[in-house]
Amino acid sequence: MKKSAYFDNGATTAVAKEVLDEMLPFFSEHYGNPSSIHSMGDIAAKVMSASRKKVSNALKCRPSEIIFTSGGTESDNLALIGTVLRSGKKKVITSAVEHSAILEVCAYLKRIGYDIVILPVDKEGKVSTDSLAKVIDKDTALVSVMTANNVIGTIQPIAELSDVTHKHNALFHTDAVQAFTKVDIDVARDGIDLLSISGHKIHGPKGVGALYVRNGIKIDPMILGGGQENGLRSSTENVPCIVGLGKAAELAMSTMNDDVKRMQRMRDEIIDSTLRIKGTYLNGPADGRLCNNAHFGFDGVKGMDLILSLNKMGIMASTASACTAGSADPSHVMTAIGRSAEEALSSLRISLSRYNTQEDVDLLRESLPKALRTVRGR
């Protein structure tokens, strides 16, 4: 049997071999600056536009609607700050289960005088259109609700939420960092004005992402300088990583249907077998959750101890999310779905990728009961 298995793909994923191969020549062979007019610059400019096309194909939008950024965090910051500050309106609405890249931006906007409304979620982590309809008004600049949650995998009713948003002439942004290549996304069909993605969650490199901005939407840059990315994101473009993001998106989309089905099967096997262990419950929805996410609570267990015990058996997983893994505070997502602090701290997140195998699942099924006995002291 296999000796180790990686189940922390919600935190980051392996760069696909095909992606790395495509990136490598752009470090020291074709290293030109896309703004240079000589042939080396031309190669870089051409490959950037090819990558932009691949990302836009994956989101079903136009290449001119894609801004390359340094990652999901920057995309989220740009989406909110770039639109809200120039909107002339005062209200921003988001949800209680957003990533810190949204919640911290909202906290900043609040400090500088904006009115921030945080929508509650139900016990499965879902935002309701009714709760949005109650608080949205003509002074609302933007609504931001993630496509799928990074901790408990809840998929949100994005099309319905954007519908309510547009009835009040506000913009709709979604953080699709976890959902991209796992959930069917169509920005026009779903009424999305702005959407964030990240390379390293889809088997691309770290430090690159993109923001989709629907044509005609007015947005200000946060990073000023040489005017790259249509003036919206200055700094010499990270050509190798942008190549990697495009390839990662293209590759994931080409096998998405089969990958999603396989991950769903593994996820369901993990959920079924884990829930057979006494004192175990599922966090997040039974239906309508990300194909690669399973999230559990265990009575009387400290999640941190469980992670360390599993790690000794070669299983790499996390409690809530990588960004909160270093802290002993309960995840805000767990609190938002009504879990107590103790319940919140007893959690285990299993996040799959298309590279996980049945052998990995078997290793987890064998190790988890043992790890639980160890941490429960029996």
Ligand X SMILES: *Cc1c(COP(=O)(O)O)cnc(C)c1O
The gap between the terminal CA atoms of the chain, to the nearest Å, is: 25
106, 241, 291, 323: the catalytic one is 323
Q: Write the CA distances from 184 to 155, 190, 209, 356, integer angstroms.
A: 11, 10, 19, 21
Give the residue, chosen from 81, 97, 132, 177, that forms a contact with ligand X under the rule CB under 6 A: 177
**Closer to ligand X by Cβ: residue 72 or 330:** 72
61 is catalytic: no
Say whether residue 99 binds ligand X (CB under 6 A): yes
- 284 belongs to the binding site for ligand X (CB under 6 A): no
C-beta neighbour count of 87 within 10 angstroms = 17
Residue closest to ligand X when measured from CB atoms: 72
Q: Does 297 bind ligand X (CB under 6 A)?
A: no
Rule CB under 6 A: is residue 332 a binding residue for ligand X? no
Cβ-based nearer residue to ligand X, 274 or 292 = 292
Q: Which window, 72-80, 109-117, 213-221, 307-315, contacts ligand X (CB under 6 A)? A: 72-80
* CB closer to ligand X, 61 vs 151: 151
Q: Tell me the window of 71-79, 87-95, 290-298, 329-337 that interacts with ligand X (CB under 6 A).
A: 71-79
Do 139 and 125 form a contact (C-beta atoms < 8 A)? no
Q: How far apart are CA 225 and CA 199, in angstroms?
A: 24
Q: Does 80 bind ligand X (CB under 6 A)?
A: no
> Could you give the residue ranges of the DSSP H alpha helices within 60-96?
72-84
Instruction: Decide: is 9 part of the binding site for ligand X (CB under 6 A).
Output: no
State which of residues 73, 95, 154, 238 lies at the interface with ligand X (CB under 6 A): 73
Radius of gyration, alpha carbons of the chain = 21
Which of 244, 240, 247, 246 lies closest to 27 in space, CA to CA? 240
What tokens does 224 get?
Answer: 């000023």
The correct pick among 34, 209, 240, 284 for binding ligand X (CB under 6 A) is 209
- Nearest residue (CB) to ligand X, 253 versus 333: 333
For residues 364 and 348, the answer to whether their CB atoms sit within 8 Å is no
Distance between CA atoms of 169 and 91, rounded to whole angstroms? 12
Residues annotated as part of the active site: 323
